[in-house]
Structure 1
């Protein structure tokens, strides 16, 4: 081992990077960030009404359990690769590292772009969901005399984006979330978000159970009632459509991989954070869904509410004051998620533009002279997010489309490294966390599931299909990918060569991803403390 370098630093050097970020994060702190980025409140709150009409309670509850199992399959493959390649480049780096040499640039390029599109849509989805919660709270506060119009909702949405942009431009030092991302302030903020989500959700659950203890919904309703208000006659198809709420909630756990260069014992800490966040989200999310569904007092009133349906559940169960207080807990939690998401996604734009993967790369990767943060990237991100929200002015299903684009794009990104690994497994030496002989079959299951939901979530959610209920996910996704393909053919393939190394290894290039060399592997003495490379940790 090179003098002065610990194990984490040596592994990073072998991947072509020098240790620039401070390794002050423990596995628990990484888990805090990952869990709060997934954010149960931002995932389950705005889409609960959609789930009520696409399958109803039985699909909400058992769909959550099923999606948890399938998500764990995807996450196990991601955790395995993360253990072998613990770098903040994450998925973008992994596709270059694992794929065959001649495919490295194109796979890395498209993985980065899929991830960017997913994160753009994710930023829009979280902020738009927050707008829906805010206007619903205002409506409750006015006793329903003010009914939010699409224009008012979009106006609040754009206001949220502007506020997030201002915070990321002028308050990065105060928030400790950008150029001091590894500082104690950022760590404390991540832990605060974790506790806000956990305590807030527990308050909501307890409040609902106490206030509806004399009039809960029946177990038969919660566990067996199927509802189809979509217009589609095929109930099996409707059940599948109802999985969107659950699958959308299980996104963002790749954030743990992006923090591995700042996490101690990253080969274990990264995978632990990914899987731990999913399991915690699964348990707490199921409890939240059960409490809300048992608290439904009048199903028809809920699905026909002038606000978002979950707000009507709170109003019926808790009364006006209780509903407003609960909605405020949700607003703060979702805003935490929106602001943190914009901050980290701007860093993704910065990283991709640094490597020449984006148009206007020379401008997008510039840092603000005072804060040393990518302010231009922040506003570019928020500008695109604002555009994604405009279709809501003409279509009430626009929010579903945004969440669909987010889910599909991110899961394609999660699946590409796994797909590459299926073809290059013979040259892959795993890290301490690995699935051993179960790795291949798990990878096949993960890729099949990602392929399935990528088709499912671009399909229309209502029938007959017209301009007002069309699922515009396919249009948004298709348009963006035409632009990406044109950029790749016209310029990207000439200027983009994959992740840029900033250091030459002082040891053998065990982890190099140079484009003219075979797929990299880790020396078994470094990647596996027990040395056999086949145990499941």
Structure 2
């Protein structure tokens, strides 16, 4: 049961992602120095409350919670146990389809939020000449005021990444695992650097105060734990179809990033900005924090 519980954390951790979007759209936010961090914290709070209500409701709607009943539910002909839960609880295919429509709508808007955050990241990196083809991805559409090219870049690359998942369940699990591992490594990196910086780090106008260090180190330890957990094989014995390919994918991304950095990024990243301009921008940022 413990291994099932631990593997079940994957979907929970997958749900608690995306709150960094507040930071990525900070340039388009009023009073970003306070609004962005508040948005991050409040998104976590709302996710906890809404997520628990949703999970409790679906769990309570399971008609047969015995081992045999859960085995049957998992082997449902619909291929989606939650869909079967709706069908069994409502005994009304039309209403069950309506609930699934709501779920699909939520997934769509979740995807929209992901594209928004992802495109802003690629736009920001392109603006600093950090990725190949930056001159194309950093263009802003004069009509919409958005980085349209960057948006389409993220959509196309994400679609290519998920194509194998349409034909293979193992590939789907690998993609979702990589998404969780990659996101949380990215999340915890600045937290770890902040903690290692100690008192030399100057906090912004809105922060966690005395709880910052405690929460920061808990976050670091937790991310290390879940990253180790999510690279383990989901079932035994290990075969080609049950092997967890996420560590290979994460390693591939890491190697690719290192190669691109030394091959191109190191030569071009922010090279169009001179030291005087960088110092001026840093001073402006610190002045905004003081204000």
TM-score of the aligned structures, taking structure 2 as reference length: 0.85
Equivalent position of 2:55 in the other structure: 289
Residue of structure 2 in register with 1:455 after alignment: 228
Q: Deviations over 1:102-149 (max 9, x none)?
A: xxxxxxxxxxxxxxxxxxxxxxxxxxxxxxxxxxxxxxxxxxxxxxxx
Residue 81 of structure 2 corresponds to residue 315 of structure 1: no
Corresponding position of 1:480: 253
Is 1:267 the counterpart of 2:33? The answer is: yes
Q: Is 1:338 the equivalent of 2:104?
A: no
Which structure 2 residue ranges, 5 or more long, are not aligned?
65-69
Tell whether the 8 Å contact from 1:429 to 1:524 is kept in structure 2 after alignment: no
Does the C-alpha gap of structure 1 residues 499 and 362 become closer, same or farther in structure 2, counting only changes over 3 Å? Answer: closer
Higher relative contact order (CA 8 A, sep 6+): 1
Say which SS state the counterpart of residue 169 (structure 2) adopts: coil
CA deviation string 1:435-485 (max 9, x = no partner): 334322322211111122122112221211212222221222222222111
Note the 1:113-512 alignment, pairs <5 A: 235-298=1-64, 299-306=70-77, 307-318=79-90, 319-368=92-141, 371=144, 373-392=146-165, 395-497=168-270, 511-512=282-283
Deviation of residue 291 (structure 1)?
A: 0.9
SS of corresponding position for 1:446 = helix
Count of residue pairs brought into register by the alignment: 284
Q: CA deviation at 1:375?
A: 3.5
Shift in alpha-carbon separation, 1:451–1:377, aligned structure 2, 3 A: same
Deviations 1:468-511 (A, max 9, x none): 2222212222222221111112121121148969x969xx9594
Residue deviations 1:365-397, cap 9 Å, x none? Answer: 234565554333233222222222233355313
Output the CA distance in 2 between the equivalents of 1:386 and 1:464: 31
TM-superposition CA deviations, 1:141-161 (whole Å, max 9, x none):
xxxxxxxxxxxxxxxxxxxxx
The equivalent residue for 2:67 is none
TM-aligned CA distance change 1:492 to 1:523, over 3 Å: closer
CA distance in 1, matches of 2:32, 2:147: 26
Distance 1:395 1:470, change over 3 A: farther
Measure, in 1, the Cα distance between the counterparts of 2:227 and 2:11.
14
How many angstroms apart in 1 are the aligned matches of 2:144 and 2:289? 41
RMSD (Å) for aligned C-alpha atoms: 2.9
Structure 1 alignment gaps of length 5 or more = 1-234, 514-519, 527-537
C-alpha separation between the residues in 1 aligned to 2:172 and 2:124?
A: 28
Is the CA contact (8 Å cut-off) linking 1:342 and 1:378 kept in structure 2?
Answer: yes
CA contact (8 A) 1:295 1:313 kept: yes
Structure with the larger helix share: 2
- Would the alpha carbon gap of residues 275 and 302 (structure 1) be closer, same or farther in structure 2, given more than 3 Å must change? same
TM-score by length of 1: 0.48
Supply the distance in 2 between the matched residues of 1:498 and 1:428 (Cα, whole angstroms): 25
**Contact 1:292-1:313 at 8 Å conserved across structures:** yes
